[in-house]
Amino acid sequence: MDIIELGDDVISGTRRALARAITLVESQRADHRVQAGQLLDYVGQAGRQALRIGLSGTPGVGKSTFIESFGLMLTGLGLRVAVLAVDPSSRRSGGSILGDKTRMDRLSRDPNAYIRPSPSQTKLGGVAQRSRDAVALCEAAGFDVVLIETVGVGQSETMVAEMSDLFLLLLAPAGGDELQGIKRGIMEIADIILVNKADGDLKPAAMRTCADYTGALRLLRKRKRDPDGFPRAMTVSALEDSGLDQVWADIQALISWRRDQGYWDMQRAEQARSWFVEEVRQGLLAQIETPGLLRDRMLQLGDEVARGQSSAAGAAAKLLELVKTPDESLDAGPGTA
């Protein structure tokens, strides 16, 4: 396939080209990985940036309802919105539950919105890697906002936070007056906590829950990258579209402050660097796991370790010796003065 042509079509905002491009970056085939790298380099030259918003919440909390309402509000403001999902469980549970278009029917029919379900891979790390590439493609395609949805399970929030400019945590009103079983870690990565379903009978409980979280957030150590008043908790109703304009106003206030302070650029640079390191790490692992001499040797050394003939450390050192590149070949490489 012609990568330059595909790249140009992505940049011109052709939806089918974007879909094809995302399929390409999601592929694990070695030749596709090379093409994906070329494509990402090419479209990256367009220098476009979207606002990347991570969003997490347990099933049933109202993520799809929120994304639909919030997304439609944004497109109503003339913005183009992409929705991507990072789903750690898509394979095991036999079917993706995130980023499913039927969950966001009206938004999926909006010409200024694009919804893409989670790539289907067994490893969460792989899903996250490919989703980062999809985010970059959506940026190149000229979307103003990229919403990255995930469920409240294990590592997925951290991974989504690492590819986002800011992170929203969606909660439901608690029954009692104690905090829900939210791990401290996720509270620490949230920039805005949204207590959803603040409507009808649930409204008083939502207000209480919000007050509880406001109190809990005050106890967290102040982060350098936050202006006064952040992270914050607020109530919304995705169903009744209430509070969503305030969410958008708060997001913009936070982001413009971070831009002014230089934290936006700093965070993007750090994320890009760790993204690169992660790609290399995964690539090296894939190289060892690909059928071939290296993998044969690894299996062989594994047997020796299992039989007690070799220590794990000793066998690993032997294998790594085989992967090592002589320093001379690096000297001649590009980028050296």
Residue whose structure tokens are 């951290």: 158
Residue 213 or 264: the one with the smaller Cβ distance to ligand GDP is 213
CB of 143 to ligand GDP, least distance (A): 21
Nearer to ligand GDP, 136 or 236 (CB): 236
Tell me which residues touch ligand GDP (CB under 6 A). Answer: 57, 59-65, 103, 196-197, 199-200, 202, 237-239
Specify the residue, 105 or 270, whose C-beta has the smaller distance to ligand GDP. 105
Could you tell me the strand order of the sheet in which 113-116 lies? Answer: 113-116, 81-86, 145-151, 51-57, 166-171, 192-195, 232-235
Chain center to CA of 335: 30
Residue placing its CB nearer to ligand GDP in the complex, 103 or 130 = 103
Q: Which residue, 75 or 196, is less far from ligand GDP as judged by CB?
A: 196
Q: Which residues of 198-229 are buried (b: 16+ CB within 10 A; e: fewer)?
A: bbeebeebbebbbebbeeebeeeeeeebbeee
Nearer to ligand GDP, 248 or 275 (CB): 248
Q: Where are the alpha helices (DSSP H) in the chain?
A: 3-11, 15-26, 30-44, 63-76, 105-108, 124-140, 156-161, 184-189, 203-219, 244-261, 263-289, 293-306, 312-323, 327-331
In angstroms, give the least distance from the CB of 65 to ligand GDP. Answer: 3
* Min dist. Cβ of residue 161 to ligand GDP (A): 18
- Least CB distance to ligand GDP at residue 260 (A): 33
Nearer to ligand GDP, 241 or 304 (CB): 241
CB 114 within 8 A of CB 82: yes
Query: In this structure, what are the phi and psi dihedrals at residue 193, rounded to the nearest 5 degrees?
Result: -100, 125
Q: How far is the CB of 163 from ligand GDP (least distance, A)?
A: 20
Kindly state the tokens that stand for 246: 């305030």
Minimum distance from residue 293 beta carbon to ligand GDP (Å)? 47
3-state DSSP call for residue 116?
Answer: strand
- Residue 275 CB, nearest approach to ligand GDP (Å): 27
What residue is closest to ligand GDP based on CB?
Answer: 62
Contact 149, 115 (CB under 8 A): no
